């Protein structure tokens, strides 16, 4: 589906024609390609109650539910913990591989396998030190009955090539039936970021695998000589959020530079432009790549932010609070809190900023009761519960 290629600027309503979320001036002087591609109308403020579920975690990064009400939580230094239903935390689960915890690296996302109740398989992503540098890797293993260790560990994906920069690893895990999506980053440096456009690397890509790490036969570049067959889409910067939408489609969200955070609907084989085009600019104020926000052959983002929200984990709401039904809830690292997007027909129709005083929210996951569990990413981090409608 070719849904958002717009090589020329489309006339849109003036950005000041409706009430917007208060966010300050943009860094870059670009006009959106279509109405509500950025600074959508402000939604009515939501009433929420926030409580602390657990604290004392060191830079928590990913969280996933288990069938009996417990949760698994990663800590970036390399620890996996069980968060029990009563709010207590287990000792670190043993058996995980060593992680490269320098800079932005470490133990990252975690997901219980779709058949966890039978197989006890869990999956995780992490920064791995290898000969020649560091990479994003994904692995899986069997969680013991008492949840104290992981056995039968096998690596199912290793980014290529290694980088000397311990930055921009991605990464999130999303299951889609027999498939598993893994998102990656492009390691930040001016030289490394160019590889987001190269098909012989897995920098700045969405990767699509089966659960055991093999490559699906219908991936878009399987038959292309010199291309990595696991690539689903390319031209991404640093994808730290991914989720399945209400109709089963994959959505991703990635960090831009100074401005230009993007929400995308990655289609097979499509190119999302980084670092050739961007709705942001470099941190020193210089232009990114071509200096343009769009160009022929690159997909438009569904939505972008300037200034940034520094997006992390996200989820589509499907709980008991009707006012949020189908909305996208995104963790923000800067300025913090949760960003809510109302989406209709794959276009954003409204935005809300919720509790920006909560700090750096690294992941967002919906609990069975319709509340949200939020990870606060700091040295003395925590798990919060946000309950809407209270």
Give the tens place of pLDDT for each residue, 38-97: 999 999 999 999 999 999 999 999 999 999 999 999 999 999 999 999 999 999 999 999
The answer to whether residue 108 is domain-embedded is yes
Give the CATH number of the domain where residue 234 resides: 2.120.10.30
Give the tens place of pLDDT for each residue, 372-387: 999 999 999 999 999 9
The number of beta carbons lying within 10 Å of the beta carbon of residue 249 is: 14
d(CA 382, CA 278): 34
Cβ neighbours of residue 296 closer than 8 Å, sequence gap 6 or more: 5, 7
The answer to whether residue 52 is domain-embedded is no
Short-list 271, 137, 153, CA closest to 209: 137
Q: What is the pLDDT of residue 264?
A: 98
pTM of the predicted structure, to 2 decimals: 0.94
| Residue 215, both tokens | 């490559």
**pLDDT for 107 beyond 50:** yes
- Catalytic residue, chosen from 3, 59, 168, 187, is 168
The answer to whether residue 182 is domain-embedded is yes
User: How far is residue 286 CA from its own chain's centroid?
Assistant: 26
* Residue 59 among the catalytic residues: no
The answer to whether residue 309 is domain-embedded is yes
When divided into structural domains, the chain yields a total of 1
The pLDDT-based confidence of 9 (bands split at 50, 70, 90) is very low
Short-list 104, 96, 245, 296, CA closest to 184: 104
d(CA 389, CA 232): 38
- For the CA atoms of 38, 42, 48, 53, what is the dihedral angle to 10 degrees? 10
List the domain range (segments joined by +) for residue 190.
57-331
The pLDDT-based confidence of 18 (bands split at 50, 70, 90) is confident
The answer to whether residue 73 is domain-embedded is yes
The answer to whether residue 301 is domain-embedded is yes
The answer to whether residue 77 is domain-embedded is yes
The answer to whether residue 20 is domain-embedded is no
């Amino acid at each position: 589906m070719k849904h958002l290629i717009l090589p020329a600027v489309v006339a849109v309503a003036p950005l000041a024609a409706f009430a917007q979320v208060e966010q300050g001036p943009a860094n870059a002087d670009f006009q959106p390609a279509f109405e509500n591609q950025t600074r959508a109308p402000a939604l009515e403020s939501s009433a929420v109650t926030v409580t602390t579920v657990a604290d004392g975690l060191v830079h928590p990064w990913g969280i996933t539910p288990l069938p009996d009400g417990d949760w698994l939580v990663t800590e970036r230094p390399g620890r996996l913990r069980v968060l029990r239903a009563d709010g207590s935390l287990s000792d670190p689960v043993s058996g995980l591989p060593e992680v490269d915890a320098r800079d932005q690296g470490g133990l990252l996302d975690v997901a219980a396998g779709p058949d966890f109740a039978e197989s006890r398989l869990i999956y995780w992503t992490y920064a791995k030190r290898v000969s020649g540098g560091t990479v994003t890797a994904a692995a899986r293993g069997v969680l013991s009955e008492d949840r104290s260790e992981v056995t039968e560990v096998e690596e199912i994906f290793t980014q290529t090539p290694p980088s000397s920069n311990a930055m921009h690893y991605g990464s999130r895990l999303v299951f889609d039936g027999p498939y598993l999506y893994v998102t990656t980053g492009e390691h930040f440096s001016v030289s490394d970021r160019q590889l987001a456009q190269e098909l012989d690397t897995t920098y700045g890509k969405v990767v699509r695998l089966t659960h055991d790490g093999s490559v699906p036969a219908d991936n878009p570049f399987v038959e292309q000589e010199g291309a990595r067959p696991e690539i689903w889409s390319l031209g991404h910067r640093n994808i730290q959020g991914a989720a399945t939408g209400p109709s089963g489609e994959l959505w991703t969200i990635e960090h831009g530079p100074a401005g230009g955070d993007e929400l995308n609907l990655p289609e097979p084989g499509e190119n999302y432009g980084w670092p050739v085009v961007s709705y942001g600019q470099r941190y020193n104020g210089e232009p990114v790549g071509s200096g343009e926000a769009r160009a022929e052959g690159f997909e438009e983002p569904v939505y972008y932010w300037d200034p940034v929200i520094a997006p992390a984990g996200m989820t589509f709401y499907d709980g008991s609070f009707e006012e949020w039904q189908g909305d996208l809830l995104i963790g923000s690292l800067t300025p913090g809190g949760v960003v809510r997007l109302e989406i209709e027909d794959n276009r954003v129709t409204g935005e809300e900023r919720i509790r920006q005083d909560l700090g750096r929210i690294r992941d967002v996951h919906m609990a069975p009761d319709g509340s949200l569990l939020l990870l606060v990413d700091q040295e003395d981090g925590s798990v919060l519960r946000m309950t809407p409608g209270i």
